[in-house]
């Protein structure tokens, strides 16, 4: 499993602690320093089954500066969202858990973290 991690984020810390407690191995990716490219982020969105605006931190200063709250949320606008989020990785919701089974989850709740542990134990 790979965790897209921001060390300053409490939700990322909770995800790491939950996985550590369950002894689930993982790799950390400091995605703010090593941001995904467009193709990689599109692949992660597909693994999440999400549209870019569904995993966008819309209240971040960069989102405010770009006016993301007013951007259309439709198929024709997806590439614009992806390009903005790749250019400003702080807009990507965290932590993103890339599971070894090919799936992905946004690990912000205890329920999602339990599901990640369960899916990792089943492997």
For the stretch 81-100, pLDDT in tens is 999 999 999 999 999 999 99
| Chain center to CA of 13 | 14
What is the predicted pLDDT for the residue at 123? 58
- Domains for the chain: give ranges and CATH numbers: 1-31+94-123 (3.40.30), 38-93 (no CATH)
Q: Cα-Cα-Cα-Cα dihedral of 54, 109, 27, 39, to 10°?
A: -10
Q: What is the mean pLDDT of residues 73-88?
A: 98
pTM of the model: 0.94
Q: Which member of 9, 13, 32, 112 is catalytic?
A: 9
What is the predicted pLDDT for the residue at 122? 72
Q: Which helix (H) or strand (E) element contains residue 104? A: strand 104-106
What is the predicted pLDDT for the residue at 121? 83
Percent of the chain past pLDDT 90, that is, above it, reads 98
Candidates 96, 1, 107; CA nearest to 41 is 96
The question of whether 9 is a catalytic residue gets the answer: yes
- Residues with Cβ within 8 Å of 45's Cβ and at least 6 positions away in sequence, in order, are 51, 52, 55, 82
Q: What 3-state class would DSSP assign to 22?
A: coil
CA–CA distance, 68 with 72 (Å, rounded to integer) = 9
């Amino acid at each position: 499993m790979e965790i897209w991690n921001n060390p300053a984020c409490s939700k990322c810390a909770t995800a790491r602690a939950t996985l550590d407690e369950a002894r689930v191995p993982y790799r950390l990716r400091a995605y703010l320093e090593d941001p995904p490219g467009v193709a990689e982020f599109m692949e992660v969105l597909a693994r999440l089954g999400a549209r870019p605006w569904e995993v966008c931190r819309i209240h971040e200063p960069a989102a405010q500066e770009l006016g993301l709250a007013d951007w259309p949320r439709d198929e024709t606008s997806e590439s614009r969202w992806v390009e903005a989020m790749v250019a400003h990785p702080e807009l990507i919701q965290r932590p993103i858990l890339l599971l070894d089974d090919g799936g992905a989850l946004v690990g912000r709740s205890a329920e999602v973290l339990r599901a990640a542990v369960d899916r990792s134990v089943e492997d």
